[in-house]
Amino acid sequence: WENQYLVNFTYESGNTTVMPCTPVQFGGNKAAPCEKAPQLGEHTKEVLAELGYSAEQINELVAKKVVSSYQ
């Protein structure tokens, strides 16, 4: 606990658990926060938009089930 290899984590549902964090730490570097993994397709629209797709194109890809988008 002292070295922050384990942290208490609360999910959006309010459930809590203990999560392991990376035990690799270097002096002077702050460890990244322990977070939940994204849901499948959670960032699909943002990534496609960054690649130049329009909102209309993205919605069409989601509707045709070419890509998955977590709502």
Q: What's the pTM value of the predicted model, to 2 decimals?
A: 0.59
Q: Residue 47 has what pLDDT?
A: 96
5-56 residue pLDDT tens: 888 888 888 999 998 887 777 777 776 777 778 889 999 999 999 999 999 9
More confident residue, 36 or 69: 69
For residues 35 and 57, the model is more confident at: 57
Name the pLDDT band for 65 (thresholds 50, 70, 90): very high
How many CA atoms lie within 13 Å of 22's alpha carbon, on the beta-carbon side? 10
Q: Distance between CA 61 and CA 24 in Å, rounded?
A: 40
Give me the pLDDT at residue 49, please: 96
Secondary structure in 3-state letters for the chain:
CCCCCEEEEECCCCCEEEEECCCCCCCCCCCCCCCCCCCCCCCHHHHHHHCCCCHHHHHHHHHCCCCCCCC
